[in-house]
Each structure stands twice: as structure tokens, then as C-alpha cells.
Amino acid sequence: MKKIVCANYEEMSAVAAYAVASQIRSKPNSVIGLATGSTPVGTYKKLVEMYKDGFVDFSKVTSFNLDEYYPIKHDNDQSYIYFMKDNLFNHVNISAAQINIPDGECSDPAKECADYDARLEKIGGTDLQILGIGNNGHIAFVEPAESLPLATSVVKLTEDTIEANSRFFKTADEVPREALSMGLKGIFSAKHILLLISGKGKAAIAKKLFDGTLSTSVPASLLNLHPNVTVIVTSDTQ
Ligand code: GLP
């Protein structure tokens, strides 16, 4: 894995946004894998600026998000579809028909997951995947466990994740206990993965990615097996 160390969050966001914009400029119909969480917010902000400046055009882009809580209403301001509209989709010219995100309101989650993988496979995987990392080493909602899902599937959130994500909800009780998450196969379909890690709080987990070992108890450590991963970290993280 290549590592780029940035002075601060602002610089990390600019570097990541430039990588995404360059991908789209060189291949306008790129398939971009998108992540949620607080880490990529600055990247999306920069991409919106780049779009407004005419540097990047999303009209032919297809997006695949990593995950969504389940169940959750689309208009819940903590749903990931709401987050994506608020931070990116409502501000750029991406076509609604080309946005893919697991449906938190679906009635048949197993079918929703199978269809999601079928669509991702049909299009040939993502060209560029933005990833964040949970404090417990999760990527998307692939949580630490003895065995990890390859396919997009319904996953149970760990207590660590419920606690970490409760900061966005009024109470921890409101955090959905499950999610629909892309599995390792979908994540690894990316030709290039950009893993963003920011802040002191992530220093311990970031260190584990570079300790020369793999463990399903740190799902992100498996990224060491992917041929093209760029980890963009802030200097206080490493
Ligand atoms: C969430 C998402 C992940 C994200 C992670 C870290 O639970 N499912 O895709 O990377 O948590 O979030 P943050 O960037 O807010 O630390």
C-alpha cells in the first residue's frame, strides 16, 4: 500500500478530491465507489467546488455507495442516501439513474443485496473506491469477525460501531442495529482504492494496517492484498 502523508484534514481532502476528479477527467464514464462518515466530507466539499469551477463533470459518472443502515427511511437525516445528497449528489450533475446505494427501505434485504452485487459485477466493478475506516478497523460495514462476508449482505453492527456512530444520532438507541454493506468482493473490485484516515483518534488503527500482518479482526488490514491501494493520512494519524 502506498502512503501519502498530508499536513492536515484540508490537505487530505484536496489530495483525495483531486484523485477522484483526475479519474473522472481521464474517463468521464468512471464508476466511483463512495463512502460516508465524517472523513470524506471535506473531499466531497472540494469535489463540489471543482464541479462549480468546471474542472470535473459528473454527467456520465456511475456511483456505488458502500453501505446503508437497515432499516432506515430515505428522509432520515442519518441515512446514507440523505448524507450523499446533502454532501454531494444535490450539488453536482450526477444523473439520479446512475446513483447506486443499498435501499434502507427495501422489503427484501437479501434480494436487494444480491441485486446490488449483480449491478456492480455487470458494470465491471469500480474504477476508484473511496474508503474510510472505523475505529475498530471496519471498512464499509464489514465488521471485525472470525469470517468476513464476500458478498453484499445484511450485517449486524458491533457495539463499538453503534457507540461510535451514536454521535450522529440523538441517542445510541436510535442507531439501527443492522446495515446493508458491500462485501470484500465488491470493495476489492476497485481498480484503485483510496483509503482516507484522519485524526489522532485513528492513529492506533492506522498503525495496525502497516504492521505487516493480516487479520479478520482488522478488516482493513486485508487491503494489503489489493494491488493498488493509496492510503492518505494526516500527519497526526501516523
Ligand atoms: C461508518 C461507515 C464507514 C466509515 C466509518 C468511519 O460506520 N460505514 O464506511 O468509513 O464509519 O467513519 P468516520 O469517517 O466518521 O470516522
Report the nearest atom of ligand 1 relative to the CA of 39.
14
The answer to whether residues 157 and 174 touch, using CB atoms and an 8 Å cutoff, is: no
Helix (H), strand (E) at residue 84 = helix 80-87
What CA–CA distances, in Å, run from 29 to 26, 57, 95? 9, 10, 11
pLDDT grade for 223, boundaries at 50, 70 and 90: very high
Q: Rounded CA gap, 206 and 200, in Å?
A: 10
What CA–CA distances, in Å, run from 99 to 81, 124, 171? 10, 16, 30
Q: Which residues are registered as beta bridge partners of 31?
A: 62
The pLDDT > 90 percentage for the chain reads 98
**Among all residues, which ones are annotated catalytic?**
67, 136, 138, 143
Confidence at residue 215, expressed as pLDDT on a 0 to 100 scale: 97
Q: What is the mean pLDDT of residues 209-226?
A: 97
**Which residue's entry shows cell 479478520?**
216
**Which residue's entry shows cell 454531494?**
88
Q: Rounded CA gap, 234 and 238, in Å?
A: 7
Confidence at residue 238, expressed as pLDDT on a 0 to 100 scale: 79
Q: Rounded CA gap, 158 and 39, in Å?
A: 20
- Atom 3 (ligand 1): residue with closest C-alpha? 140
Q: What is the mean pLDDT of residues 53-74?
A: 98
Check pLDDT > 90 for residue 102.
yes
Query: How close is the Cα of 96 to the center of ligand 1, in Å?
Result: 24
Instruction: Report helix angle 41-52 to 9-26, nearest 10.
Output: 50
pLDDT in tens, 167-194: 999 999 999 999 999 999 999 999 999 9
By most ligand atoms within 8 Å of CB, the mutation choice from 41, 101, 133, 159 for ligand 1 is: 133
Picking from 224, 220, 226, the residue whose alpha carbon sits closest to that of residue 189 is 226
pTM above 0.75, yes or no: yes
Picking from 161, 131, 141, the residue whose alpha carbon sits closest to that of residue 226 is 131
Q: Name the CA dihedral angle for 140, 103, 183, 195, rounded to a multiple of 10 degrees.
A: -30
The pLDDT > 70 percentage for the chain reads 100
